[in-house]
Chains A and B, each alone.
Chain A
Amino acid sequence: KQEVTQIPAALSVPEGENLVLNCSFTDSAIYNLQWFRQDPGKGLTSLLLIQSSQREQTSGRLNASLDKSSGRSTLYIAASQPGDSATYLCAVNNAGNMLTFGGGTRLMVKP
């Protein structure tokens, strides 16, 4: 059964720092991997989707990479801003029917 782990569970950084969030998964036979953002009490906003055949995807200040063979993905956030404060969730799609989520990284960017 797929297991997804996110490290660290919480992170606090000063504004302007570049940072990396980590996601690891146990079963490398994946369809794709999706990164989400969740604000307190709110829904999930899709940030980036990486197909199993891709190595990375970029959107603005966000860059996500995927290394299927080692079961790892990273989300790189450049020049962090207070508005980036949220919980970031990594989700792996195996059989195409279900997303398996990690526990999330709670990010706080201090002004």
Chain B
Amino acid sequence: EAQVTQNPRYLITVTGKKLTVTCSQNMNHEYMSWYRQDPGLGLRQIYYSMNVEVTDKGDVPEGYKVSRKEKRNFPLILESPSPNQTSLYFCASSLLQGDEQYFGPGTRLTVT
């Protein structure tokens, strides 16, 4: 089944403890991106990647890192999480830049 998967689905952590949220797609898509969804602010893009080793900042990249060493994986790294990064995170992918985007199931992160 063609899909975008994220792990973990739920995570509660403490301020400053490094964490990684994984994202994987099995559709051989070149384009992948990360969004966060917050009440009243909607969905906003954090980072995107147009291909392996090519990444760039979205609207709200502060406090996040990404890497794209393989085509199928696009992990989101929080080096030192803070409470304002408590949010619902979505990974998305598309065949090429500008194509229809497919979203993962989301990761609900709480930072205390």
Contact = CB atoms under 8 A, between A and B. Distances in A.
Interface string A30-70: 01101010000111111001000000000000000000000
A101 interface: yes
A43 B42 CA distance: 13
Given A44-B90, A98-B58, A31 B98 contact: yes
Nearest to B45: A98
Nearest to B104: A43
Contact of B45 (A45, A46, A99): A99
Contacts of B44: 101
Given A31-B98, A98-B59, A44 B103 contact: yes
Interface of B is mostly: strand
A111 interface: no
Interface residues of A, number: 22
A96 interface: yes
A103 interface: yes
Question: Which applies to chain A's interface (DSSP): helix, strand, loop or mixed?
Answer: strand
Given A89-B43, A97-B48, A98-B45, A32 B98 contact: yes
B43 A99 contact: yes
B106 interface: yes
B98 A96 contact: yes
Contacts of A101: 42-44
Nearest to A97: B48
Given A43-B90, A44-B103, A102 B42 contact: yes
23 contacts: A31-B98, A34-B101, A36-B103, A41-B106, A43-B104, A43-B106, A44-B103, A46-B100, A46-B101, A89-B43, A91-B43, A96-B98, A97-B48, A97-B50, A97-B56, A97-B58, A98-B45, A98-B48, A99-B35, A99-B43, A101-B42, A101-B44, A104-B42
